[in-house]
Amino acid sequence: MAANSYSLPLAGTAKRVSDALGDGTGVVRADHNVPFRQLLFQATGASAAIGGDPTVTLGTGTQLAVGAVVPIGPFDTGPVKLSDFYAIGAGATLSVLGVPF
């Protein structure tokens, strides 16, 4: 199975990572929001943070240092979706590589 890749410009307020699917801000279309076994996150331009809640901050989320690749998973017991995550980071672009479930 081929991996899927996405890119999302971040801001000083949290964005739902599924916004990278191109369906509109805050819009989650089930046919685009595919399940993944593993996700790899990378921030470029500035540091960022990722979490599972829209209130994520740079202080509360998992830190994404510029250029570092942060893996989430693999999940053998069930999938995750991009809509499960929120990211924040003014001046950062979040790159996501997902291995479908």
DSSP string covering 11-41, please? -SS-EEGGGGGSS-TT---TTTS--EEEEEE
Quick check: is 78 in a domain? yes
In a domain, 94, yes or no: yes
pTM value is: 0.91
The whole-number pLDDT of residue 25 equals 87
Residue 84, domain member (yes or no): yes
Residue 28: inside a domain: no
pLDDT by residue (tens digit) across 4-52?
Answer: 999 999 999 999 999 999 888 888 898 888 999 999 999 999 999 999 9
What pLDDT score does 1 carry?
Answer: 61
User: Is 80 within a domain?
Assistant: yes
**Number of structural domains the chain divides into:** 1
Overall size of the chain counted in residues: 101
Within a domain: 65: no
Q: Note whether residue 43 is domain-resident.
A: yes
- Does residue 90 sit within a domain? yes
